[in-house]
A and B are shown apart, each in its own frame.
Chain A
Amino acid sequence: MNLEKVIFSFFMILALTLNFGFFYGTVDQADHHNIYELFAVIVVNLIATVLKFGDRSQMGAMLLATSLVAVVQLVSAAIVWTFAVHVQSTGLTPAAVSTIVSLSGGAVLANIISVILLMIEAAMLRH
């Protein structure tokens, strides 16, 4: 067992599960989407991205790219949230919530790809 692999996979899968948890629910209902969950998703995704730094293999490059996509999506969602609540002071209208949730939905997709790549890599290494 390789501790590095465990930590790496842990963060990747945690990023996906948390992300899904935030995404799951009616798209425009603010009650279904917890802000702390979004916070946690962003932090875990950032950690997963940094863990991929400096890997020079082809797989490493792909994983870094998918993680960056997820981070960009999630940060945009957070910015939309901040705008809705603090800048425009309109509060969480259904329109704002659905924007945030759909952005995080994109991040779910990117995270799924990450995990699939991880599974492919694991399947290719048979030792």
Chain B
Amino acid sequence: MNEVTSMLLRRMRAPFLLLICVYSISILGMVLIPGVDDDGNVWHMSIFHAFYFVSYTATTIGFGEIPYTLTDAQRLWAIIIVYTSVTSWFYALGKIITLIQDKTFSAAIVRSRFSRNVTKINRPFYLICGFGETGSALVKALTEEHLHTVVIEKDPVNLSELKLNELLMYVPSFAGDASNPEHLELAGIKHKMCRGVIAVTASDNINLKIAITSKLLHPDVPVVCRSEYKEDEENMLSFGTNYIVNPFDTFAGIFEMAMHSPSLHLIYDWLTGVPNTKLTDPVYFKRGHWILCGFGRFGKVLFKHLRDHDLSITIIDPDKDLLTEFRKDPENEPYDFIIGHGTDTETLTQAGMIDAAGIIAGADNDSNNLSIIMTAKAINQDVFIVARQNLLINHKLYDATHAHLIMRHREMLARKIRVIFLAPLLLKFLKLAKKQDPEWANITISRLSATASESRPHLWSVFINQDQTPAIAMALSHGRKINIGHITQDPAANDTKLNCVPLLLIRDDQEILLPEDDIEIKAFDQILFCGTRDIKLTMRWTLNVKRSLNYVMTLTEEPESYIWRKLYRYFNKLERRKTPR
């Protein structure tokens, strides 16, 4: 039996028993006490009438003395009925109200409602553990793609925000402990429609626990874990966590792209961002002398990248232990390390701020970072600024500094996880893109900007098979040759191209970046496109409908019905298309 009903029944046992007793005694009394009818004859109430009388008296409705006026003996009994039955009802109602206000009871209701909502999900969904800033950004992104999500979060305050947010879909949520396997099970970790578990709580330890639970309870489901420490990462990998997102490594990757070429960074930013948001401008990375404030986890990762690019670097950090650790590595010989915060003009000037090309404000404290940026700008107007934002509430402040690159790690992680689930091909594309030269990135970005016009493009993958692209699969099985150029043709308009860019084609182990129009499509190819949502929908015609496919391939309208087809062929003196199977 359900937890809630059983609790309700158990608590209501006493009031129900009392009511039954009071009613039965009252009815019996009413039946036994003789009354008088209108003609003065002795009259006994039947059980039916007595029940009627007690019912309207006990509930304080009081229709009166029906069918005949009561005798005094009956009235005496009626008085007793009124006081006992009405108080019993109050007692029963009071019990119900106490039960409703009971914390355990309402928790049981919330729990069972959540569990019911999760169980009845009949579409693929993602389980998001932790509704912090990353979690909420992810929920927003996934619901915008019409994907179901379920949220489990420890802090009820954060969850109430979920209910206030205007999301496109209903998101079942539960204030529970994600490190408790029972709660995860309740949230649907074993549900057959669960397509992914995303562990983005603030603690590495809990994320680790979620990954373990998920791999034990539902081994096939991909798990994405957020981690900030290398040791935890190795631990997570050891039992098959599918993706690990580390904010520092992710940002280092973005930083590396910006160093490589502004266009590459722009490609990343446009393609991974939320579709239909405004396009960003390129950032031009500067070579020369760099100042790195804060040598924590963030600073260390960036330092490695700067060092690999042979830039001159000065580090500023208040921690002396870090300096001794830094000096142990002989490779660090040529770099300066100044003890200080970097928030004052003196330290910054000493670090060579006046001629510096760039500064990284990478402390784990927002006021220090903001102060570093302000001081640095006062000394050197044109310096390239990289800032690390720690708390979401400081978003506006960081925007106001006009820093060139801002590490907002929650948003960044949300972006990365979104790509992992929504456009896994994009990860491959970006990996290949990093290996190309800056010239390639420039050409690509110009093609992208031609399609994108003003807002971030939409990405979609086409998988050539019987289910997803029936028209193409059929044509291919007939031995027809279809090129990329055919599917990027508009099936509705005369000889126009669809405004989209094929980014990547994957065939077995072969990966073709930006496949040209003349590249032939084979069965089981995976192609990543970018364009607008409308274009995606238009392209579906070509992929699914034979007639549209015929049109884009021949640019003529061909008849569909059997007789017209025969006649058409006869008059145009065409032969039947060869159908080798």
Contacts and interface: CB of A to CB of B under 8 A. Distances in A.
A39 B46 CA distance: 11
A35 interface: yes
Interface stretch (B20-28, B178-186, B278-286): B20-28
B268 to A, nearest CB: 57
Contacts of B31: 36
A43 B24 contact: yes
A51 B12 CA distance: 10
A85 B46 contact: yes
A86 B49 CA distance: 9
A120 interface: no
Nearest to B13: A53
Give the bracket for the number of chain B residues in contact with chain A.
20 to 34
A47 interface: yes
A82 B50 CA distance: 12
A54 B17 contact: no
A50 B16 contact: yes
Contacts of A36: 28, 31
B230 interface: no
B251 to A, nearest CB: 53
A53 B13 CA distance: 6
A53 B24 contact: no
Given A61-B1, A85-B48, A54 B13 contact: yes
A54 B13 CA distance: 8
A54 B6 contact: yes
A47 to B, nearest CB: 6
A46 interface: yes
Interface in B1-57: 1, 6-7, 9-13, 16-17, 20-21, 24, 27-28, 31, 46-49
A54 B10 contact: yes
A71 B13 CA distance: 16
Contact of B47 (A39, A54, A56, A61): A39
B8 to A, nearest CB: 8
Nearest to B50: A39
B21 A47 contact: yes
B27 A53 contact: no
Interface in B52-83: none
Contacts of B17: 47, 50-51
Contacts of A39: 24, 27-28, 47
Nearest to B24: A43
B10 A50 contact: no
Contacts of B12: 53
Interface string A67-88: 0000000000010001001100
CB-CB nearest 6 A-B residue pairs: A54-B10, A53-B9, A43-B24, A50-B16, A54-B9, A82-B48
Given A36-B31, A86-B49, 12 more contacts: A43-B20, A47-B20, A51-B17, A53-B10, A53-B12, A53-B13, A54-B9, A54-B10, A54-B11, A54-B13, A56-B1, A86-B48
20 contacts: A36-B28, A39-B24, A39-B27, A43-B20, A47-B20, A50-B13, A50-B20, A51-B13, A51-B17, A53-B10, A53-B13, A54-B6, A54-B7, A54-B9, A54-B10, A54-B11, A56-B1, A56-B6, A85-B46, A85-B48
Interface of B: 1, 6-7, 9-13, 16-17, 20-21, 24, 27-28, 31, 46-49
